[in-house]
Amino acid sequence: MKHYGLIGHPLGHSFSKDYFTEKFRREGLDCEYENYDLPSLRIPKLCGFNVTIPYKESIIPYLDELDPVAAEVGAVNTVKVLDDGRMIGYNTDVIGLNAIIPRALPWADGKMPLRGALVLGTGGASKAVQYILRKNNIPYKTVSRSKEKGDLTYQDLTPEVIQSHLLIINATPVGMTPIINEAPNIPYEVITSQHTLFDLIYNPEETIFLKHGREHGATTINGLAMLHAQAEASWRIWRRAEGTLFQ
Ligand SMILES: NC(=O)c1ccc[n+]([C@@H]2O[C@H](COP(=O)([O-])OP(=O)(O)OC[C@H]3O[C@@H](n4cnc5c(N)ncnc54)[C@H](OP(=O)(O)O)[C@@H]3O)[C@@H](O)[C@H]2O)c1
Average pLDDT, the chain: 93
Q: What distance in angstroms lies between residue 54's CA and the mean position of ligand 1's atoms? A: 9
What are the tens digits of pLDDT across the range 125-159?
Answer: 999 999 999 998 889 999 999 999 999 999 999 99
What confidence tier does 105 reach under pLDDT thresholds 50, 70, 90? confident
Q: Is 45 a catalytic residue?
A: no
Residue to substitute in 90, 98, 169, 172 for testing ligand 1 pocket (most ligand atoms within 8 angstroms of CB): 172
Q: Report if residue 247 sits inside a domain.
A: no
In total, how many domains does the chain have? 2
Residue 245 has pLDDT above 60, yes or no: no
Task: Answer yes or no: do 205 and 231 share one domain.
Answer: no
Q: For ligand 1, atom 24, name the residue with the nearest CA.
A: 172
Mean pLDDT in residue range 2-13? 94
Ligand 1 atom, smallest distance to 175 CA: 45
What are the tens digits of pLDDT across the range 20-61?
Answer: 999 999 999 999 999 999 999 999 999 999 999 899 999 999
Ligand 1 atom, smallest distance to 52 CA: 15
Q: Report if residue 245 sits inside a domain.
A: no
- Structural domain for 16, as ranges: 2-92+227-239
| Residues 155, 160: Cα–Cα separation, whole Å | 13
What are the tens digits of pLDDT across the range 157-186?
Answer: 999 999 999 999 999 999 999 999 999 999
Tell me the pTM: 0.92
Pocket of ligand 1 (CB under 6 A): 53-54, 56, 93, 96, 121-126, 144-146, 149-150, 171-174, 176, 200-202, 223, 226-227, 230
Residue 121 has pLDDT above 60, yes or no: yes
CATH number reported for the structural domain that contains residue 44 in this entry: 3.40.50.10860
